[in-house]
Structure 1
Amino acid sequence: MLKIKKMIASVALATSLLIFPNKAEAVCKPNPAQLAQTAFTACYACMLPLSIAGVQVLHGHMPDPQGSVGSPLCVCPMPPPIFMRIGIPVSFFEPSRLIDVVKDPYCFAGMGFGMSLNPMGAGTKGDGEDRTRTFFQSHYYIFPLYSILELMTDFICLEHTGFDMAYITEVDPLWQDDMLTAIINPEAMLFGNPITNMACIADSVSSQANVALDPLFWCKGSWGNAYPLTGNTNTKDYVEDSASVAASMIYKLHRQLILWGSWGQAGLCGYYPAPIWRKSAYRLQIMAPIPHPTATGIGQSGLLWSFTKNIPFVGDNFNYLLFKKRECCAF
């Protein structure tokens, strides 16, 4: 009789949890050795293809949809008394940034620690009552991997700055509200509708081969519409949703002129303003909580890379290594 009562109590408890689910809360438990893990598990082959004077000298496993500058020589201005210098165009993808996408505000998954503060934006809106929307905060780090590891220090095309925290969304009201963010992207009214979303089907198909269609700048492949540029996303898979938010962060930083262009003929002699992002210039490699062995292009379905990347009991907090297309005039 006692066993039957225990069984009935267990069934009642399980039923109550299903009918009245508790609010889903993330738990910030980052890896204290995360920066070291990033250096060891980064996909160094994802910097390829390496092109010199428009010719691919090292081929990678990921395509470069936009190609590279094909001229054999390039000329850049210099301070007096040299005035001009002649070089050779070089093209590759540089791992130089980190992006956190976290449900726990002030959880710095990329650096391996968290802070217990009460920010403007709550970590998640995809709770037990509403599982159709998820909200993430995001952090953007300057992380020139090759410079930090002192690799190829004499190569002029690599960044030689130090590690730095460049942007956090917890203090940014534009990141918290879909309507308020229209201040920096009013064109969202034109592209956030079913007709323009239909055009994203082509980008979704193409992105499975890591070939993003740059003319469809309002699309994020399988990750949905790029607008609004906030931490809100539709809940399908927390890992894929986090990549989608990381892509929104990239676009937002371009719009705010924090991220600049470094590709094409204009990028040979330095960075330039690029308020409209170019998706094919970026690759993302998930590093936390579980790293993936390779990077993915913007919009590739999580079915191809997100499996087992979000272990239980450590919170839905993610970190990505960002590879950015770099073209420069080397000498």
Structure 2
Amino acid sequence: MKALRLLTLALVAFALSAVLSPRAEAQSKCTGKFVNPITDVCWSCLFPLSVGGLKIWPSNRPDTDNPNLPVCACGSPVPRIGIAAGFWEPVRLADVSTKPWCFVNLGGTKISPGFDIGQGQLSGPSLTGGNGANTSKWHVHWYVYPLLYWMEILADFACFEQSSFDIAYMTEVDPLWQDDSLTALINPEAVLFSSPIAQAACAGDCIASTAKLPLDATFWCAGCQGPMYPVNGNIAASIGHVQASRLALARFAFKIHREGLAWGTMGSKGLCNKYPMPVLKKQQYRVQMTNPIPTVSGKAACSPLGASTMPPQAGRSYPVKGEDMGYLVWRKRNCCVL
């Protein structure tokens, strides 16, 4: 009888391992595909194109304020006269995944260093204050991706960022991205904006981001996605993969601006040179999904930081093979063409 019981337990354990192992393997498998620079890019996101305050190539997408005068001057001691141009440039590519070392936009390749570091997670509902809440932890890989310069669309246009492809940042090796307490070292002001009144202002930022452009004055908000603080990948209210991944990406953009790794390029201050922007101006960026489903058409295809993810053009995820997200980041550039 005892032998029969042991045999039964062994068979049950074998059956459970056969059922659960493929699922666990599927959940940990990195998925994605290489970005096709022709078919996977929303080329209409390049517009509007402006000279001074005049839009010479208009668009139905919202635009930031441009310098009023079409003429600008840069250089010293003798300034050179140029034309004040404004456009949107695809400059960065980002992987956003709960699976560490998952390079989504490099074909879903998982390049592990061989040691346990930077683990992500996606947890189901847990009772917090009597309400069910999902939590998640995301990692970001930041690529230098100056697409317009590579494709030589305007070969003599010196305003394009001229650099080669590179993996510029991986959050798995950043201790400030892992722990909320360490993150406070670069955003100590977060305690000032944790009150319900400050968070209520994020509703206005959500509406503004979806209708037109985010409110730069409410820098502690990431619009409809949630609070900007803490500036790491720990998402306390994870509603879905698209919402949570876009929030992690917005926080990462804030983080690299705070650390001086990204600078301002829009407005009159950016005509001659990039300038420090320790507090992110959210209006400077648009985000377009490249993985799992590229969004290449529609007004919401490259929406601002904090915009609602409800429109279908904003991006979608699906189970198993569509849970690792990739984004193309568009940056507003005002430049004095000399």
TM class, shorter-length: 0.7 to 0.9
Q: CA deviation at 1:229?
A: 0.4
Q: Is 1:138 equivalent to 2:140 in the alignment?
A: yes
Partner of 1:228: 230
Mark the CA change 1:259 to 1:50 in structure 2 (over 3 Å): closer, same or farther: same
Deviating beyond 6 angstroms after TM superposition, the runs of 4 or more aligned structure 1 residues are 21-24
Aligned pair count reads 306
TM-score, normalization by structure 1: 0.86
Alignment check: 8 A CA contact 1:105 1:119 kept: no
Structure 2 SS opposite 1:187: helix
Partner of 1:261: 264
Mark the CA change 1:28 to 1:75 in structure 2 (over 3 Å): closer, same or farther: same
Whole-Å separation in 2 of the counterparts to 1:215 and 1:206:
12
Q: CA deviation at 1:289?
A: 1.1
Structure 1 SS opposite 2:184: helix
Alignment check: 8 A CA contact 2:289 2:315 kept: no
Q: Is 1:55 equivalent to 2:54 in the alignment?
A: yes
What is the CA RMSD across the aligned residues, in angstroms?
2.3
Whole-Å separation in 2 of the counterparts to 1:120 and 1:92:
40
- Residue of structure 1 aligned with 2:65, choices 40, 64, 67: 67
Partner of 2:98: 103
- Residue of structure 1 aligned with 2:330, choices 311, 320, 323: 323
Whole-Å separation in 1 of the counterparts to 2:123 and 2:38:
33
Partner of 1:114: 110
Mark the CA change 1:47 to 1:252 in structure 2 (over 3 Å): closer, same or farther: same
Q: How does 1:70-219 map to 2 (within 5 A)?
A: 70-77=68-75, 83-112=78-107, 113-116=109-112, 117-127=114-124, 132-219=134-221
Whole-Å separation in 2 of the counterparts to 1:158 and 1:322:
15
Letter in 2 for 1:71: L
Whole-Å separation in 2 of the counterparts to 1:260 and 1:119:
33
Partner of 1:242: 245
Which has the higher mean CA deviation after the structures are superposed, 66-75 or 160-169? 66-75
Structure 1 SS opposite 2:176: helix
Letter in 2 for 1:309: R
Letter in 2 for 1:274: M
Q: CA deviation at 1:207?
A: 1.5
Mark the CA change 1:134 to 1:268 in structure 2 (over 3 Å): closer, same or farther: same
Alignment check: 8 A CA contact 1:28 1:315 kept: no
Q: CA deviation at 1:119?
A: 4.3
Letter in 2 for 1:313: V
TM-score, normalization by structure 2: 0.85
Whole-Å separation in 1 of the counterparts to 2:83 and 2:334:
10
Unaligned segments of structure 1, at least 5 residues: 1-12
Alignment check: 8 A CA contact 1:26 1:316 kept: no
Which has the higher mean CA deviation after the structures are superposed, 301-310 or 281-290? 301-310
Mark the CA change 1:272 to 1:142 in structure 2 (over 3 Å): closer, same or farther: same
Letter in 2 for 1:53: G
Structure 2 SS opposite 1:61: coil
Unaligned segments of structure 2, at least 5 residues: 1-14, 128-132
Alignment check: 8 A CA contact 1:291 1:309 kept: no
Q: CA deviation at 1:99?
A: 1.3
Q: CA deviation at 1:127?
A: 4.9
Alignment check: 8 A CA contact 1:30 1:114 kept: no
Letter in 2 for 1:144: P
Between the aligned residues of both structures, percent identity stands at 37
